[in-house]
Structures are given as structure tokens and as C-alpha cells.
Amino acid sequence: MSDVRVGLVGYGTAGQVFHAPLIAATPGLRLASVVTRSPERAAEVAERYGAATVPSLDDVLGACDLVVIASPNRTHVPFATAALEAGLPVVVDKPLAADAAQAEELVRLARERGLMLTVFQNRRWDGDFLTLRRIAPDLGEVHRFESRFERWRPRPKGGWRETGGAEDLAGLLYDLGSHLVDQALQLFGPVESVYAEVLTRRAGVNADDDTFVALTHASGTRSHLWVSSVAADLGPRFRVLGSRGAYVKHGMDVQEEQLRAGLTPGSPGFGDDPEERWGVAGAGDELKPVPTERGDYAAFYRAVADGRTPVDPSGVVEALAVLEAARRSAETTQTVRLS
């Protein structure tokens, strides 16, 4: 059988760093065309992947078998709708939509057309998250889950993610916050109530850059989630407290850093966390290093190539409902109940 021809819409950070390298490294997939209007990016696509570059989504709909949408957040729903209506399966970078209602409409359309719709929640394949999923039963009943994506970037980088408004789905809540909420739901299940502080700290930035979300799960677990660009001291990536023990992990998953450096899933050591960055687990003074599972973002596209849906979009609808509640909570300074 011939390879699946993939049309990638967008070659900014998401397309350039994540999607294009992972697609190109996946047997059974071929990066056939990329939507970009930048001459510099077009030259890179041609040199690195030998793919065609085109100016718009319409140019790829008739020339590919699968559409991957990695364009700015505000375009996700209209672009995914157009691709599904053209009869093509779709991968959408997170966030899938602005709210749960829009996401449900996309899920309904995909179901009616009998097409795959999936969302690139790649952080489900972070090595530290895979490790936590493996050892969570050893921790007993988890009563508090702390999760952070913190950075120290006092000077804004610019771009729509920082200068855009609510209509652009700019800011950290819908960016990295999408991953933290998704991971919390994967680990501890449905959420009953949400409290959030969604703040903008830096001059010249319109979108949130310092956000905290507290979730109360139906299971009883409390998740405390931080995303920040102004953290002068970085907290642990994970701090998980259970009835029998804890797991604490510092530092980010290595795969993004490796992809930015030009490595691919086939490179030696790809996804391997250095021993000095392993987390520890235990209780009191009895803490032991826990080897980090190998990170595996490539698993997402291996599933796509095999005709499987790696991320059920129905679960993403649930996460979007939580993000909506977080936004309402921040606006009203009140806890928002979901059930």
C-alpha cells in the first residue's frame, strides 16, 4: 500500500517543531504538502522534507489523504470543518475549539461522515507522565496532584499567543493549560468544580501569562495546576501526594528540546531522560530515584498511520468544558461547579 499523503496546515512552532518531524519519521505517512506563505519556511520545507508548499487550505484538500491542522487557534474549527466536509480525516493541534459546544459539533460532523477526528495531545506521551501513570497505584489514594509548566520569560517574545485576544484563544490557559487539564483528567477522572486565577503580568502582553487552576475531581483528588511565563523560581513539574507515598519530578520532558535541536524519534537517545533528572518516589526520608519512562510523541502518529484514533475527541470536549469553567471562575472570582 502507498503511504498516506499528509497535508500540514501551518508551519509555525507547532508545525515546524512537532508535526512535520513526527510525520516524516512515521512509516506509512508522507508529508506531501505544507501550507505556509513564508518564503524562508517554504525553503526549509523543500530542503528538509521535499514537500510542496502551498498558500491555503484549499490547495491541500484535493491533494492529500489526511489533514493536520497546526495553524493559529482561531482557525482550528473552520479549517477542521472544511477538511471533514471535503471527506478527509483530520488531526487538530490543541485546543480543538474555543468551547465544548464547538468541539461537540466537530465530533458530530466527523461521526456523521465516518471520518477520524483526533487532537494532538502529545503530552500524554511525555516520559514523566508515562512514569506517573505506571507508578500511581503504588502511591495509594492520591489526594493532591500538583502539575506545572513554568518558565522565566520576563521579556515578551511577541506573536499572537501573547498579543492576541480572547477571539484568538491566545494565552497560557488554552495553550499549556490544555495539556495540564488533559493530563489531570486522564489520571483522576471527571471534575466537579473549578477555581482559577487567569492573570496577565507583563507589559505589552494582552493574553494570560500567569495562571493557576484548581480542580476538584469526583474521585476526591484535588489537582493544582500552574502555567506561567514569569516564574523566577521553577517549581517541580509534578508533585503527587498519596496515602502511601509521593512522586516528585523536576524538569520538562526532553522531547521538545530534542525536536528543536533537529533530532527525530529515530535519533539515538531520543525521549530518554538523563538520570540526573529522574524523579523520586517514597515517603518521608525514604525517597528513591525512579527511572523516567522513555517519552514517545511518535506513538501518536504511529496510531494514525495504523488507522487508529490516538486521542478520543470526546475526552477533549470534557477538557474544554473545564477550561471554559476556569475562564468563568477567573472572571467572577468564584468557584464554578460542573456537576
String of DSSP letters for 167-183: GGT-STTTTHHHHHHHH
- CA 80 centroid distance within chain: 17
Is the link from the previous residue into 95 a cis peptide, with omega within 30 of 0?
yes
Q: pLDDT (tens digit, 9 = 90+) per residue, 227-286?
A: 999 999 999 999 999 999 999 999 999 999 999 999 999 999 999 999 999 999 999 999
Q: Are 17 and 120 in contact (CB under 8 A)?
A: no
SS3 label, residue 114: coil
Element (H, E) at 255: helix 255-260
Q: Please, is 180 exposed, middle or buried when counting C-beta atoms within 10 Å of its C-beta (0-12, 13-18, 19+)?
A: buried
203 pLDDT more than 90: yes
pLDDT confidence band for 204 (50 / 70 / 90): very high
Q: What pLDDT sits at residue 2? A: 86
CA angle centred on 226, ends 160 and 162, rounded to 5°: 10
Q: Please, is 15 exposed, middle or buried when counting C-beta atoms within 10 Å of its C-beta (0-12, 13-18, 19+)?
A: buried
Residue from 222, 204, 173, 160 nearest 331 by CA: 173
Residue from 103, 109, 102 nearest 83 by CA: 109
Q: What pLDDT sits at residue 295? A: 98
Q: pLDDT (tens digit, 9 = 90+) per residue, 58-82?
A: 999 999 999 999 999 999 999 999 9
Q: How far apart are CA 262 and CA 257, in angstroms?
A: 9
Q: pLDDT (tens digit, 9 = 90+) per residue, 20-69?
A: 999 999 999 999 999 999 999 999 999 999 999 999 999 999 999 999 99
Quote the cell numbers at residue 142: 492520591
In this structure, which amino acid lies at residue 311? V
Q: How far apart are CA 323 and CA 329, in angstroms?
A: 10
The predicted model scores a pTM of 0.95
Residue 176 phi/psi, 5-degree rounding, is -70, -30
Q: How big is the chain, counted in residues? A: 339
Quote the cell numbers at residue 260: 528543536
What is the maximum alpha-carbon separation in the chain? Answer: 62
Tally Cβ neighbours within 10 Å of residue 269.
11
Q: Are 291 and 278 in contact (CB under 8 A)?
A: yes
Mean pLDDT in residue range 294-300? 98
Residue with cell 484548581: 214
141 pLDDT more than 70: yes
SS3 label, residue 230: strand
Q: pLDDT (tens digit, 9 = 90+) per residue, 217-229?
A: 999 999 999 999 9
CA atoms lying within 13 Å on the CB side of residue 267: 16
Q: How far is CA 128 from CA 149, 276, 292, 325, in A?
A: 13, 13, 6, 27
1 pLDDT more than 70: no
Residues contacting residue 334 through CB under 8 Å, at least 6 positions apart: 195
Which residue segments constitute the domains of the chain, with CATH numbers given? 4-120 (3.40.50.720), 123-296+320-337 (3.30.360.10)
Q: pLDDT (tens digit, 9 = 90+) per residue, 84-139?
A: 999 999 999 999 999 999 999 999 999 999 999 999 999 999 999 999 999 999 99
